Amino acid sequence: MSVYLVKLVELISINIESDQSFLHIKLTTEKDVELLWKIDDFTAENLKALTVFGEHHKYRLSYYSSWDSTKNQYISYLTRTFLDQSEKIYFACSEAYVKGLKAIKTDEVNSQILLPSIATSLSIEPEKKKHKKSLQSFAWVSLVFMSVLTIVLVANSLLSMAETNENSKELKKNKTQEIEIPIASLKGKTDSFQKTSIPEQESALPLVELSENVNFSIQEGNVALTFDDGPSKFTKEITDILKEHDVGGTFFFIGKNVEKHHDSIQYVKFNGYSIGSHSMHHHNFTNLSVEQQEYELLHTNKLIENITQEKITLFRPPYGSKNEITIELMDKTNTKMVLWNADTEDWKSQNANEIVNYVVNSKTSGSIILLHESQAVIEALPRIIEHLKNQGLHIVSLN
């Protein structure tokens, strides 16, 4: 049995009927293959709201998925492209959709999933290309009435139904290919799909609630990794490292960077990490008036909240500089100021080994560790996490 090496999944259209929904997608492998994917209405509606099909944009589905423990739902994303521009758009999806992505990615095959007539009709005989159109029509119409939840690959060369049945024995001898990818629907009424399970590896991240208006440290036995000056081109990779090691993290974003990297903010949020403000322009707050400080804080909060749809309650003043005006602003806006008691000074060295050495030689229990988004931090982070875990510490997000 041949296996297709799926590289890209292009979303061509979304069809939502009264009792069923389908995605029409194209797999780019050694040659393009189109298929229909029957999915749940919840995922289909969410995708429909984000897409406008036409000559200007193309959409590519990502194999990425994660569990948002705060909203109790799965998250995936699609990439919208136009010329040389691309944008990642996140959406809520079902467990069935996540399983479908995995099936497509791994080319899982299960001949018991297809109805016999459909499975037989998918046999491929290259020399009989003249029957392609008639059988493609059959495959599309038949899928509408299928009670079995499947994806059917529409190959380039297909036999008609009558000739397929007559030559089924001969086709078996010739070891003709049959290709299918099973998909389980969230709306299926069998017991096995009535409940949505949360995978163990996607459990809630460790979190510490801050109790003070101004915070330099946290409870002993815990340690917080914090990342300043994003969002940036490094944000997603830092997030991936934290997620890979199943540890917490807190990001402090600068307002002027938000528009350029708003997809990175979505990525951090949907992976469950904490987000705070680091001001609009990274000015020293002790040199600013009341009005200027309010603008630096509140305008940045608004930009981030428009993306995350959640209130920003954490703030880190640039350079750690603050005055009475800043403290009063924290009280007025019910915001927690997050400072630090472990400064790696990574921005000076830009050297992964020096960053790691600082952490290794510091008292880390109860620490809030200051880091900045950079390539050096990306290189140092796995070793830092390994060291902190070896110390028996909980690496937490802040809230």
Task: Indicate the range of 154-158, 214-218, 395-399 predicted with least confidence.
Answer: 154-158
Beta pairing class for 207-208 and 250-253: unpaired
* Residue 182 and residue 222 in one domain: no
What is the mean pLDDT of the segment spanning 69-76?
A: 81
* Model pLDDT, residue 109: 39
The CATH number given to whatever domain includes residue 300 is 3.20.20.370
Name the residue range of residue 316's domain.
205-398
Q: Do 282 and 356 have their domain in common?
A: yes
Kindly state the helix (H) or strand (E) to which residue 259 belongs, with its residue range.
Answer: none
CB neighbours of residue 190 within 10 Å:
9
Residue 198 domain flag: no
Of the chain, the end-to-end C-alpha distance in Å amounts to 52
pLDDT band at 1 (very low <50, low <70, confident <90, very high): very low
> Into how many domains does the chain fold?
2
Provide mean pLDDT across the span 35-46.
91
> Domain boundary at 193, 214, 246, which?
193
* Other beta carbons within 10 Å of 359: 21
DSSP state of 134: H
Residue 181 has pLDDT above 90, yes or no: no
Tell me if the pTM is above 0.85.
Answer: no
Q: Average of pLDDT values for 63-85?
A: 81
How do strand 58-68 and strand 8-16 relate by DSSP bridges?
antiparallel
HSE toward the beta carbon, residue 291, CA cutoff 13 A = 0
Say yes or no: 20 and 123 in one domain: yes
Highest mean pLDDT among 84-98, 138-152, 282-296: 282-296
pLDDT beyond 60 at 188: no
In a domain, 250, yes or no: yes
Rounded Cα gap, residues 164 and 161, in angstroms: 5
- Percent of the chain predicted with pLDDT > 90: 52
Whether 12 and 144 map to the same domain: the answer is yes
Strands (E) across 289-381 are located at 314-315, 336-338, 342-343, 367-372
Residue-wise pLDDT tens digits, 371-381: 999 999 999 99
Based on the fold, state whether residues 221 and 156 are members of the same structural domain.
no
More confident residue, 161 or 291: 291
Is the link from the previous residue into 231 a cis peptide, with omega within 30 of 0? Answer: yes
Instruction: Residue 333: name the closest of 312, 316, 317, 319 by CA.
Output: 312
> Does residue 46 sit within a domain?
yes
Contacts 24+ apart (CB under 8 A), 97-102: 97/39, 97/40, 97/43, 97/65, 97/186, 98/65, 98/74, 99/183, 99/184, 100/37, 100/39, 100/151, 100/181, 100/183, 100/184, 101/61, 101/63, 101/65, 101/76, 102/63
Mean pLDDT of 284-303: 97
Supply the angle between the helices 352-360 and 375-390 in degrees, to the nearest 10.
Answer: 30
**The pLDDT value given to residue 66:** 82
User: Do residues 42 and 173 both lie within one domain?
Assistant: yes
Question: Which of 169, 193, 217 is the endpoint of a domain?
Answer: 193
Q: Cβ contacts of residue 57 below 8 Å, gap of 6+?
A: 80, 81, 82
Q: 204 pLDDT band (50/70/90 cuts)?
A: low
Report the alpha-carbon distance of residue 117 to residue 142 in Å, rounded: 9
Of 363, 397, 356, give the one whose Cα is nearest residue 246. 397
Q: Which two tokens stand for residue 231?
A: 């969002």
Average pLDDT over residues 326-341: 97
User: What's the confidence (pLDDT) of residue 394?
Assistant: 96
What average pLDDT does the chain have? Answer: 78
Q: What is the pLDDT of residue 327?
A: 96
Q: Looking at the structure, tell me whether residues 377 and 275 fall in a common domain.
A: yes
Asked if residue 209 and residue 177 are part of one domain, the reply reads no
Last residue of a domain, one of 148, 171, 193: 193
- Residue 3 included in any domain: no
Identify the band that residue 331 occupies on the pLDDT scale cut at 50, 70 and 90.
Answer: very high
Domain match, 30 and 57 both = yes
| Judgement on whether residues 162 and 257 belong to the same structural domain of the protein | no
Q: What is the pLDDT of residue 112?
A: 30
Residue 3: is its pLDDT beyond 80? Answer: no
